Chain A
Amino acid sequence: MIGLWSVPLLFALPLSLGILSLLVVPAWRPRLIFIGLPLLVAASLDVLAGLATIGPHVYRLGDWAAPLGINLVVDGLAVGMILMTTLVTSLCALYAWVYLRDHPTSTTFFWPLLWFLWAGMNGIWLAEEIFNLYVGLEVMGLAAVGMVALRATPQALAAAMRYLLAALLGSLAYLLGVALLYGAYGTLSMAGLQEVAANNATTQVALALIILGLLLKTALFPLHAWLPPAHGGALTPVSALLSALVIKASFYILLRFWLVLGPEITPEFTAQFLGVLGAGAVFYGGWMAWRQHHLKQLVAYSTVAQIGYLFLFFPLVTNTGPEAQRLAWDGTLMMLIAHALAKAALFLSAGNLILAVGSPQISHLVGISRFRPMSLFSFGLAGVSLMGLPPSGGFTAKWLLLHSAILSGQWWWLIVLFLGGLLSAAYIFKVFRMSFREGPQIDRSVTPPLTLDVTALILASAAILIGLTAHLPLHWLRLGSVFGVS
């Protein structure tokens, strides 16, 4: 059986390493990455190889078939997310390895949390089962909350508390939706639901609860209030992981639900409504990002804005033609991946800039372009992708979404993409403007260790490169979805 070992390794290995890192002395905790990263990279690649050889398939845990046992789904979408997670998390882990050296010992608890987070995310990407998704969400969510609290400053604790409350409320709404679906259809398997679910009041209410719960976890405007303090205030590698990956997990579950219950059950109104909320996020997040004085808060609000683009998916696939739907699918996934890479790079390079000038204030970046060009260069590359300028993943995504919007005749989304791009340019270049201003003539800034700059640069370059070779990942991502080529 293909992927026999690699599929369970994707969550079992991080779980084991998470526990092991509790057992070893603090100094040894970071070093476990040198066991974990190669193995997880290998497992991810093996899963990709499995997908390439036999196509989309399910992995039956305990060898029990679907409604009785829990199945894992290995299709293009899941494997794409796994690879994205492996790339981003590995680089963030390398970054953290160096970054946390100067932090108090208590931050070494970052490592067990990281492994649990990773296991939770991989669990979610692979899940085929709606209750299993709930447990996966909890593993990931609590690990993420723990990471936010790690700094243990009053601000961090308040942010973690706020995040935890939002996450708990979201999970409960989701769980109640699951309870209704199980009560009505007697199955938890997505494939099973796809067969039996009908368009009735119970499904509608259950879906509404699930959507609301997941929106809260994804921090879609106007449910975003918890995000900026949590993402902006955490340790830099934590911010990168949360913004790049964690919020994507709940969006991914929404996508899965959409694939299963489909546009037949999602009414036109809901789809347009989600799109409007997305537009609101783009405008409000962009505007707020532009107003920030604190570099990481700016980046965090940029996440609020970028989440909005993902939700244009729903109006663009509901009651539109197959071509427009395919483009919307491609565009949204490209946006998701490009944002993950670019946002991780942006947070890491912002962290480097903050290390260099010793202050999180944007106004203290005056003249830094002269002294720390590399950190700024990564910031710039990532910014290019976020602004949706070519050549970058963000641009390719925007291109596809524009294409889909025009094709489906929903021209109003063009305005969102247009103004959203300009707004993001405004806040990205706000940082650049400051860094180009002539300031002190003497280099007083700290030089961040090379590893920190290199990891940020790799992520930023990946955000650019993925735009140039987009047809390859997009081809894989379609496998096993309704847009897949058989």
Chain B
Amino acid sequence: MDWNSLILLGVLATSLVASGVIFLLAESRLVLRTVVNLTAAVLKLVLVGWIVWGVYQAIEYEFRFTIIEGVDFILRADALGIMFVGLSSLLWLFTTIYAIGYLEKAPNRSRFFGFFSLCVASTVGIALAGNLFTFLLFYELLTLSTYPLVVHRGTRESLRAGQVYLYYTLGGGALLLFGVVALHVLIGDTEFVPGGSLAGLDPSLHPMLIIIFLMMVIGLGVKAALFPLHAWLPMAMVAPAPVSALLHAVAVVKAGAFGIARVVYDVYGIEFAQSLGLLMPLAVVASITIIYGSLRALAQTDLKKRLAFSTVSQVSYIVLGISLFGPIGAVGGLMHLLHQGLMKITLFFCAGNYAETLGVHKISELDGAGERMPATSVAFTLGAFGMIGIPPMAGFISKWYLGIGALEAQMNWVLGILILSSLLNAAYFLPILYRIWFRKRDRMWCEGKVLGRFETQASLLFPTLFTAAVALAAGILAGMPFSPLYWAELIVGREYLQ
């Protein structure tokens, strides 16, 4: 066993070990818990940085052992996986800092942070999985570790949300399991290979492969909140803000979208999927979800609910990009995996800040918030502009590539979808911005917390500002090495060259 395989385990272990230690810590060991949390997050980031550099230089990282005959547990760092790992470990650090501040004096913090770390460990496992079996293993682990976070508040409402979440994801997981097992029966252990590994199969098996694809995409679509499997996501909004960040930006929906990318690119292969006629229906479903999510967002009065439906819509950009046959669309979709994460986490942090500092949950109560909390509001504005796709924000670059990709794939109607969706995005974000900046507050803020020197607690403010800055940079500096655009092009280069 060499260092290159151990380092993969190290990335996984940092959060896994942290989770174990945190579970065992007594509720009152605040300082120690914080130290463990942050050390693990920073350590993981360093390790991931190392691997990113290695993958960039085309070094192979692989770890495997046999579970049962013909089924291996494989961890492997490739360009696509490491992109997701990079995103989740970066955001984990900030979400942890944010959560420490957010949950100050709240009960059950050992449990919360334990499952939080476990959740990130599963996400890393999903990203590094080298075959469908390993992917499935961590995919289900993610379901299990997020449930306690969703029901964290222990209210009737959150328990209900948890139950819905569970039914959706477990049902989806079971479908995915069937698909994976069926593929195993056909071709044995399904390792992720750029360009896919199914193209050579006998044509008589093609109907079977289409059914398997359907099962797997439905299974993954539950977590990716594809219409009509999205209902759990807005309900899960009852969870604390860091959990929302986790669900929407770091882990869960991303895992679904990432899984679809894996299946399309590395199991079926983009060209084979196109020849089976699988991409078009996927694009249609993604488009419907984009429009549907935006329309529903428009109707929400609760800030977090609006953001939740916005996620339903935005994540489908990723799926749309994957289903556009052609490198440029693919770049757009994969890039959006990062962009959406950065922008959406910023927005949720802001929503959390408003709620924690000012006690504001409804959009109608946000009048004059810009005056009271300028920094948070600037961050929110940046995030919203990105979502609408105003140049030179990151969201614009995603949409630009998706548009070009649609033209390249001769799916011109997608352009219409993109334009319509952007208009809808503007329609539900701009009124919020207007309220924040241009309306005056007509009564006093009911502030609950002791704030310190800044407009809100430092641990809430700085992660927000940082993610906003990164989201901004991702757009402005898109041409630089290691930007999301750059990395997505690297992946697509490797996928389409096969």
- The minimal Cβ–Cβ distance linking B164 to chain A, given in whole angstroms, is 12
Contacts of B159 in A (CB 8 A): 433, 436-437
Interface residues of B in 119-174 (CB under 8 A from A): 136-138, 140-141, 143-144, 147-148, 151-156, 159, 162-163, 166-167, 170-171, 173-174
Residue-by-residue, is A205-219 near B (CB-CB < 8 Å gives 1, otherwise 0)? Answer: 000000000000000
Which of A370, A391, A468 has the most C-beta atoms of chain B within 10 angstroms of its own C-beta? A391
Q: How far is the CA of A396 from the CA of B184 in the complex (A)?
A: 14
The stretch of A4-12, A152-160, A417-425 in contact with B is: A417-425
Q: Is the CB of B170 within 8 A of A421?
A: yes
The stretch of B105-113, B226-234, B357-365 in contact with A is: B105-113
B1 within 8 A of A: no
Q: Is the CB of B182 within 8 A of A436?
A: no
Given A373-B110, A373-B111, A429-B166, the answer on whether A438 and B154 have CB atoms closer than 8 Å is: yes
Contacts of B152 in A (CB 8 A): 436
- The minimal Cβ–Cβ distance linking A400 to chain B, given in whole angstroms, is 7
Q: How far is the CA of A328 from the CA of B154 in the complex (A)?
A: 42
The stretch of A135-143, A349-357, A402-410 in contact with B is: A402-410
Contacts of A468 in B (CB 8 A): 67, 73
A-B contact count (CB 8 A): 93
A198 within 8 A of B: no
Q: Is the CB of A425 within 8 A of B181?
A: no
A399 within 8 A of B: yes
A384 within 8 A of B: yes
Q: How far is the CA of A418 from the CA of B173 in the complex (A)?
A: 10
Given A390-B137, A421-B174, the answer on whether A438 and B155 have CB atoms closer than 8 Å is: yes
Q: Is the CB of A406 within 8 A of B144?
A: no
Q: How far is the CA of A278 from the CA of B141 in the complex (A)?
A: 28
Contacts of B69 in A (CB 8 A): 471, 474
Which of B155, B162, B181, B182 has the most C-beta atoms of chain A within 10 angstroms of its own C-beta? B181
- Give the nearest-CB partner of B154 in chain A: A438
Given A396-B68, A474-B68, the answer on whether A377 and B185 have CB atoms closer than 8 Å is: no
- The minimal Cβ–Cβ distance linking B165 to chain A, given in whole angstroms, is 11
Contacts of B235 in A (CB 8 A): none
Q: Is the CB of A422 within 8 A of B68?
A: no
Q: How far is the CA of A194 from the CA of B159 in the complex (A)?
A: 57
Contacts of B162 in A (CB 8 A): 433, 436
A-B contact pairs, 30 of them (CB 8 A): A330-B68, A367-B154, A369-B148, A373-B23, A387-B170, A389-B173, A391-B137, A395-B140, A399-B181, A402-B177, A407-B185, A418-B178, A421-B170, A429-B163, A433-B151, A433-B162, A433-B163, A436-B148, A436-B159, A438-B153, A438-B154, A438-B155, A439-B154, A467-B67, A468-B73, A469-B67, A470-B67, A471-B66, A471-B67, A471-B68
**6 pairs of A and B residues whose beta carbons are closest in the complex:** A438-B154, A390-B137, A402-B181, A436-B151, A406-B185, A470-B68
- Other contacts beyond A418-B174, A425-B170: 10, CB < 8 A: A330-B68, A373-B110, A373-B111, A387-B170, A390-B140, A395-B137, A399-B71, A432-B148, A436-B151, A470-B67
